[in-house]
Amino acid sequence: MLDKVFKSNNPFWQSMGTVYDVFIVNTLWLLCCIPVFTIGPATTAAYYALIQRLLGEGSAVHKDFISSFKRNFKQGTVLGLILTFIGAFLAVDIYMCRRAGTGIFSFFMFFFIAVFIFWAFVTLYAFPLLAKFDRTNRDILIWAFTLSIKNLPMTLMMLFVFVAAIWMCHIIPGLIFIMFGASMQFCATVLTSIFKPWLPKPETDAFEEEVERLMAESGMGATGTYMGKEAADSTDLSDFGMSDDEMRMYGISPEEAALLMDDTHEGENAGTEAENEH
């Protein structure tokens, strides 16, 4: 009983490990955001560490965070300043139109609110895209806008999670040390599924796909058994210096191997007869 409780793969300890990693990422993100202009590379690094953790490809989250922060510092800073300036400009316009009263100002207020929402959509995707893909800021912004609209239900759900996190931190300020990390963890999970078609495949998956392709081309089934001729399955392909699986990998069927063996034996017999004649 105690062995099950203290095993590292126990769901409870796995959950505690996730909470710990999220707390570390959240803390590093807050520290790196203190200069303000570094919000971009800090957010990029946080998403990189969390996505790597989800994919099972990273090391410790703090190492992944620091590595990404250094690597994307320049581009992330520029991207962060662009998005921060646009967001601040829209927020000020909304505030001024709200204070101005009704009439034409109400129209502009709703207009700026709509633009602000699209800005939030792009911001949700921009830094995760920078974290995982080597693209220019222009390409990232266009790609972020396209993906946000294409996956609108997911985008709205992620936006709701971030708004709820900000509201909860406003009510209980102490939650700032975990809520933003938890929100990014949730968004990283969603974004990983969205980015999946463009993410590089693990080497094992690529190898398995190549094996399946070779099997299909050589007329073999998924289990590696040649389809059709059961009579030739007893052929010992190891006589060629290779294992059965290796011969089949190269598309040599048992029938072809049997013919090759016959030709080989005939050649050997012919050589022996020639030597006897001499």
More confident residue, 11 or 45: 45
CB atoms within 10 A of CB 83: 22
- 103 neighbors 23 (Cβ within 8 angstroms): no
As a whole-number percent, the residues of the chain with pLDDT over 70 amount to 68
More confident residue, 258 or 48: 48
The helix, strand and coil proportions of the chain, stated in percent and rounded to the nearest 5, come to: 80, 0, 20
**Range from 57-61, 105-109, 214-218, 259-263 carrying the lowest mean pLDDT:** 259-263
Q: What pLDDT shows up at residue 278?
A: 47
Sketch the domain layout of the chain as residue ranges. Answer: 14-200, 207-277
Q: Is the dihedral of CA 153, 169, 40, 49 positive or negative?
A: negative
CB atoms within 10 A of CB 76: 25
Question: pLDDT band for position 56 (50/70/90)?
Answer: confident
Global pTM value: 0.70
pLDDT digits 0-9 by tens, 123-171: 999 999 999 999 999 999 999 999 999 999 999 999 999 999 999 999 9
What span, in angstroms and rounded, lies between the C-alpha atoms of 211 and 101?
68
What span, in angstroms and rounded, lies between the C-alpha atoms of 127 and 41?
8
pLDDT digits 0-9 by tens, 201-247: 765 555 566 666 666 666 554 444 444 434 444 445 454 455 555 55
More confident residue, 58 or 172: 172
Q: What pLDDT shows up at residue 70?
A: 95
Q: What pLDDT shows up at residue 59?
A: 81
The DSSP code for 226 is: B
**What is the DSSP secondary-structure string of 143-175?**
HHHHHHHHTHHHHHHHHHHHHHHHHHHHHSGGG
Residue 13 makes CB contacts below 8 A (sequence gap 6+) with 6, 7
Please state the three-class secondary structure of 93-143 as a single string: HHHHHHHHCCCHHHHHHHHHHHHHHHHHHHHHHHHHHHHHCCCCHHHHHHH
What span, in angstroms and rounded, lies between the C-alpha atoms of 220 and 222?
7
What span, in angstroms and rounded, lies between the C-alpha atoms of 259 and 238?
14
Within 13 Å and on the Cβ side, how many CA atoms surround 123? 21
